[in-house]
């Protein structure tokens, strides 16, 4: 297959009533695991990396965005299923612009600290830059609660207002709109139902395709209903890293005298292989819920 334009992926999903999973990667093993699962289930998929994490100025070692762009694009072009490729949730506009030129075909400027009008202006500028380059733009209205402490913290959380969603979509011309309807960022334990009534009001207010971040913590029943209401993209990240870390910790604690068996040789004691398979299995545990299996 190849890297497929985001509008084409989304149009097919809307027409056939399923959602596409964005399963976030952070290295080559996690990226390979995501594509392994998508190929095994014959599912379209969106791959990508977290723009906020990669662009943080306090990283111990600065990242080279071109490397991530080349890796993701090569993976997509070699995959046997349709792939989109996102630079996700980045508050630093210069990095978002650069991602448009480094192989990504979907970018997401996201800055909860920005005022509504400022965010509209910034997103509009990015849309103007991205669209001629064949890059789609996702943005977010509202702010999700956070579950990283093990409990849901609503401080700063802001459910999406249907009027603002419609106004924002019309004024920015974004391709995708992420919404806050009870979904939770970094949900490390448990699941929660969505506010489906609010989601339906948003769907009626705007025709822009809708996205749910925080997929790790959404209950199965709510997710299926949300897709029936028109959600076309669901983001997953937290639980993938949980599965990855569990697999790596289980092997790295074993007593292995040959470092090559633990790193790089590709056998049963190789933590890189264990990590890849863990991510594959994590994706397989959720992807069927999206209704996209067999849709490649």
Residue 133 falls within a domain, yes or no?
yes
122: Cβ–Cβ under 8 A, 6 or more apart, which residues? 93, 109, 111, 114
Residue 197 falls within a domain, yes or no?
yes
pLDDT at 258: 85
Residue 1 falls within a domain, yes or no?
no
| Total tally of structural domains belonging to the chain | 1
pLDDT at 148: 65
pLDDT at 127: 98
148 vs 127: CA distance, rounded Å: 32
pLDDT at 257: 75
Radius of gyration over alpha carbons of the chain, in Å? Answer: 19
Question: The domain containing residue 272 runs over which residues?
Answer: 6-290
pLDDT at 171: 98
Alpha helices (H) along the chain:
6-16, 28-40, 51-55, 65-78, 93-100, 116-130, 162-172, 196-205, 220-228, 238-252, 259-262, 271-287
8 vs 17: CA distance, rounded Å: 14
Q: Which tens digits make up the pLDDT trace of 130-173?
A: 999 999 999 999 988 886 656 665 666 799 999 999 999 999 99
49 sits in which H/E element = strand 45-50
pLDDT at 99: 98
pLDDT at 157: 77
45 vs 11: CA distance, rounded Å: 14
| Residue ranges for the chain with pLDDT beneath 70 | 1, 147-156, 254-256
Provide the whole-model pTM. 0.96
Residue 57 falls within a domain, yes or no?
yes
Residue 52 and residue 14 in contact, taking contact as beta carbons nearer than 8 Å:
no
Q: What is the DSSP string of 189-216?
A: S--B---HHHHHHHHHH--SPEEES-GG
Structure tokens belonging to residue 212: 């749910």
pLDDT at 38: 98
pLDDT at 152: 65
The position carrying tokens 């991510």 is: 279
Residue 253 falls within a domain, yes or no?
yes
Q: Which of 156, 233, 227, 237 is nearest to 194 (CA)?
A: 227
pLDDT at 283: 98
Structure tokens belonging to residue 253: 């604690």
Q: Kindly report the CATH number assigned to the domain that includes residue 259.
A: 3.20.20.70
Q: Which of 75, 77, 74 is nearest to 35 (CA)?
A: 75
Q: What is the DSSP string of 230-259?
A: TEEEEEE-HHHHHHHHHHHHHHHTS--S-H
Residue 266 falls within a domain, yes or no?
yes
Q: Which of 229, 208, 131, 118 is nearest to 166 (CA)?
A: 208
Residue 255 falls within a domain, yes or no?
yes
248 vs 263: CA distance, rounded Å: 11
150 vs 161: CA distance, rounded Å: 27
Residue 46 falls within a domain, yes or no?
yes
Structure tokens belonging to residue 38: 């998508």
Q: What is the DSSP string of 160-182?
A: PPHHHHHHHHHHH--SEEEE-SS
pLDDT at 151: 63
């Amino acid at each position: 297959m190849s890297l497929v334009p985001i509008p084409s992926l989304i149009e097919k999903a809307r027409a056939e009533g399923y959602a596409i999973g964005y399963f976030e990667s952070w290295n080559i093993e996690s990226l390979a695991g995501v594509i392994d699962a998508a190929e095994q289930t014959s599912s379209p998929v969106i791959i990508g990396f977290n723009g906020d994490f990669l662009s943080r100025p306090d990283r111990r070692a600065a990242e080279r965005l071109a490397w991530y762009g080349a890796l993701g694009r090569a993976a997509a072009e070699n995959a046997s299923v349709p792939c989109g490729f996102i630079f996700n949730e980045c508050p630093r506009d210069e990095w978002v612009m650069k991602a448009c030129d480094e192989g990504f075909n979907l970018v997401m400027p996201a800055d909860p600290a920005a005022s509504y009008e400022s965010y509209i202006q910034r997103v509009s500028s990015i849309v103007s830059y991205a669209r001629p380059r064949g890059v789609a733009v996702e943005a977010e209205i509202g702010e999700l609660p956070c579950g990283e402490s093990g409990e849901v913290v609503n401080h700063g959380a802001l459910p999406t207002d249907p009027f603002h969603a419609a106004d924002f979509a019309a004024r920015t011309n974004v391709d995708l709109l992420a919404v806050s309807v009870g979904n939770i960022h970094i949900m490390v334990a448990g699941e929660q139902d969505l506010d489906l009534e609010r989601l339906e009001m948003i769907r009626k207010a705007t025709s822009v395709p809708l996205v749910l971040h925080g997929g790790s913590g959404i209950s199965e029943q709510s997710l299926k209903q949300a897709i029936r209401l028109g959600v076309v993209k669901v983001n997953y990240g937290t639980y993938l890293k949980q599965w990855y870390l569990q697999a790596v910790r289980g092997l790295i604690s074993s007593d292995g005298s040959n470092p090559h068996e633990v790193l790089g040789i590709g056998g049963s004691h190789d933590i890189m292989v264990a990590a890849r398979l863990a991510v594959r299995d994590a994706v397989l545990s959720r992807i069927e819920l999206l209704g996209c299996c067999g849709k490649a």
